[in-house]
């Protein structure tokens, strides 16, 4: 039972480098999300995809882009990494949108930008 799979688990980038964080879910969920987790700030939503073919900005979208490749996969791209993007990134999915749906999370990607 894989659930939500994120790759890579760890990454170190130099300022200005680019990279893509991958996320895939096998639960046939419609909605997918990218969060970043910073100490003392909880989780903040970067982007989300309510359904295949749609994406929308969350609370902190600057410096990121996303692609909902298909129903299973939702990637997050950093075009020009900055030290402020050092964080732990979590992908999540939910069966649908709305207040009754909880989220299933991946195990995270720890990104350090030097």
Residues lying near another protein in the complex (CB under 8 A) are found at 4, 31, 33, 40-43, 45, 48, 50, 56, 58-59, 90, 92, 97-108
CB closer to another protein out of 44 and 72: 44
CB closer to another protein out of 14 and 40: 40
Minimum distance between the CB of residue 38 and another protein, rounded to whole angstroms?
A: 10
CB closer to another protein out of 48 and 64: 48
DSSP character at residue 62: T
Minimum distance between the CB of residue 1 and another protein, rounded to whole angstroms?
A: 13
How many angstroms separate the CA atoms of 11 and 19, rounded?
9
Minimum distance between the CB of residue 43 and another protein, rounded to whole angstroms?
A: 4
Two tokens, residue 45: 């939503």
Residue 22 burial (CB < 10 Å; 0-12/13-18/19+)?
A: middle
Asked if 106 and 32 count as a contact pair (C-beta separation under 8 A), the reply is: no
């Amino acid at each position: 039972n894989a659930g939500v799979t994120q790759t890579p688990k760890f990454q170190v980038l130099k300022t200005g480098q680019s990279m893509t964080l991958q996320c895939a879910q096998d639960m046939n969920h419609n909605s997918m999300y990218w969060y970043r987790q910073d100490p003392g700030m909880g989780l903040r939503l970067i982007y989300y995809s309510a359904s295949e073919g749609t994406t929308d900005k969350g609370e902190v979208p600057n410096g990121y882009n996303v692609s909902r490749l298909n129903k299973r996969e939702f990637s997050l791209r950093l075009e020009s990494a900055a030290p402020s993007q050092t964080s732990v990134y979590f992908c999540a999915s939910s069966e649908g949108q709305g207040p009754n749906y909880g989220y299933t999370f991946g195990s995270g990607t720890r990104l350090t930008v030097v």
